[in-house]
Structure 1
């Protein structure tokens, strides 16, 4: 016990006087890990750790966002609970990650939304927006109508939709970009070479570090390895990208080619959107089931409402979008369109202050790692 207390005091001192309890706990655990190094080959966190003998706040923030919470190190660790050292890297890193989202958020006053962004709030926001649009249609007498051949702009004018969603999406992009910039400037490893940028992009696109460091996958409920989490993340990630691509292609059709919606079922925007919607049904549904069954020592239980809120918004965006596509030639199109737009607006409004932030910060951390690993180690040991 005295050895544990000494490690804690040393970790707090090294992390700096302003370290939070979560940051001090990460520093303490990494002191143990740096002495053991059994997990050195598991993921990017441990090779990056071995380049340091002490851990500042900037180091802790970097390593926390580099962690993919796969759980492999927890199940392999001889010092994991109930050992007195109580090393639980996935949970400690997750707690600090949540702090970084709030700390680097822009505007800073909205950083607290990360702690309150639960399923109830997220769905209530989306439904309230959808019901507001339903009320607008009802007051206009346009809620129930004759089939409009899938022409959404006969319900809501094109310029109105562009103005509404363009403003919200633009704000989300700016807020996330400023947050990522603050995270990046806290510790800059150096200029990014083409090779480093390509490696980081490859790691992001393949979700490399959700393979447990050995290709067998993550640990979910127990010691058994599974690639389920990585696969459901792929469905979610590429489903989101396909939906974004569908919107981008439709924008090019409208403004560059003069081809206005509605588009036929065999058109590129509809095909991309349909495939993306299917991915966003499968991926979030699978991630929700894994989230419910995951080992209690994995991650930060306090962040599960935020995790599930994002999962729910993605799922219902896809569900309402596919329903709108299926019934766009019926008299129910306006009602379905209003509900879908409510979920889309709810997703965009919470995008900078919810789970989506982890993709931005983790991508930045992976780029930092790709840059750092190409530099000579400042230590006599632990070089790559």
Structure 2
């Protein structure tokens, strides 16, 4: 046995020894700590992403540190394919999978209200689609009772002819407001826990700028070498990063379209519908196409990805979120085609049902990973600007 293997075996024994249970509460957290002790002795993947430089600043991995590092991981798979101790080696090091399991746990642990954390375990593809269908059916019945489900809305008409503006605000504003509040409270708890273990320093302007840059570029989906994530056959691909970008910016453009339309309505008294080349129409059209393409790509990649790259138990939640985003985008685009036709009421009910289901599941679905990961990147940007502990650190 080489000297390196001997040191790593000692690190593995230490992480699973009699004191390990005193530090960590769950098997998933203990497994991450065990693997990180091995990685800390090897350090071959030190330059791959933000996780490994942050890891080298630590000798022990209690719960808060594990939660921080798990949400810093982007699951690109590079370290798994480079690791000489990955399965079938007896050390069984699989950082992407171990981190993914802890990430799923953190979403539940920090959920607000805490009693609703178990919804993460039930938030799957079937539930999301069933919820969207149920809400769409409820809205369709409401329109039908008013005699409007088969009505032909004039070409110059508006969906407010079917659903008055104040009614739509009354339906969607509370759901969206609760989603924002629940996510904010959850990430606030996460931030408070990881701040002491990431130097405790406040977030300053340079750190915030760097974290924002890394979030917007999805920097750590490049595999640490600019070639992208790994497939099961070791090949690199940038498609996962590209589809994330299309979905992320498509969603932001759609949200911007709604925000601008709200400003038009309340500040200027300009009521919908808005025609091309109005800003809401341009933002919504471009955003809808980008979101539809991005989510279709993510679904295809998710179904084809090697199970060793992540937590199979979270796949239904991932696909449920992707499906709601795709349905929201495509039904919104379909409203352009259906406007002024007998199909418009049904398409509008489908779109509004998808949007409401998306809002209702935001705090307890895969959307949370973007919020928690952004917080982890911000704390990493703060920590890396502090002096390394004596004798530790990649630099």
Length-normalised TM-score, structure 1: 0.97
Partner residue, 2:35 = 29
CA contact (8 A) 1:222 1:295 kept: no
Deviation at 1:108, TM superposition (A): 0.8
Match of 2:329 among 318, 324, 327: 318
Deviations 1:264-318 (A, max 9, x none): 0321101100111101111111111111111121010000000000010000111
CA contact (8 A) 2:11 2:41 kept: no
Tell me, yes or no, if structure 1 residue 158 matches structure 2 residue 165.
yes
Say what the alpha-carbon RMSD is for the aligned residues.
1.5
For 2:309 and 2:244, how far apart are their aligned partners in 1?
A: 17
Tell me, yes or no, if structure 1 residue 196 matches structure 2 residue 207.
yes
Which piece of structure 1 moves more, 233-242 or 317-326? 317-326
Alignment of 1:84-103 (within 5 A): 84-103=90-109
Partner residue, 2:3 = none
Match of 1:169 among 173, 176, 181: 176
Q: 1:78 to 1:5 in 2, by over 3 A?
A: closer
CA contact (8 A) 1:127 1:343 kept: yes
Partner residue, 2:280 = 269
Match of 1:137 among 139, 143, 150: 143
> What secondary structure, in the 3-state scheme, does the structure 1 residue paired with 2:48 have?
coil
Which piece of structure 1 moves more, 327-336 or 366-375? 327-336
For 1:270 and 1:257, how far apart are their aligned partners in 2?
A: 17
Deviation at 1:380, TM superposition (A): 1.6
Deviation at 1:18, TM superposition (A): 4.7
For 2:19 and 2:328, how far apart are their aligned partners in 1?
A: 47
Alignment of 1:218-257 (within 5 A): 218-257=229-268
Match of 1:49 among 38, 50, 55: 55
Any gaps of 5 or more consecutive residues in structure 2?
A: 1-5
- How many pairs does the alignment contain? 383
Partner residue, 1:217 = 228
> What secondary structure, in the 3-state scheme, does the structure 2 residue paired with 1:111 have?
helix
Deviation at 1:5, TM superposition (A): 6.6
Tell me, yes or no, if structure 1 residue 369 matches structure 2 residue 376.
no
> What secondary structure, in the 3-state scheme, does the structure 2 residue paired with 1:173 have?
helix
Match of 1:119 among 120, 125, 129: 125
Alignment of 1:297-312 (within 5 A): 297-312=308-323
Alignment of 1:350-365 (within 5 A): 350-365=361-376
> What secondary structure, in the 3-state scheme, does the structure 2 residue paired with 1:316 have?
helix
For 1:73 and 1:126, how far apart are their aligned partners in 2?
A: 38
For 2:21 and 2:83, how far apart are their aligned partners in 1?
A: 23
For 1:200 and 1:254, how far apart are their aligned partners in 2?
A: 34
Length-normalised TM-score, structure 2: 0.94
Q: After TM superposition, which residue ranges in structure 1, 4 or more long, deviate above 4 angstroms?
A: 1-5
Any gaps of 5 or more consecutive residues in structure 1?
A: none
Tell me, yes or no, if structure 1 residue 382 matches structure 2 residue 390.
no
Partner residue, 1:281 = 292
Partner residue, 1:183 = 190
For 2:68 and 2:277, how far apart are their aligned partners in 1?
A: 45
For 2:74 and 2:164, how far apart are their aligned partners in 1?
A: 43
For 1:187 and 1:283, how far apart are their aligned partners in 2?
A: 32
Deviations 1:138-179 (A, max 9, x none): 111110113232401110010111111111000000000000
Partner residue, 1:260 = 271
For 1:76 and 1:214, how far apart are their aligned partners in 2?
A: 12
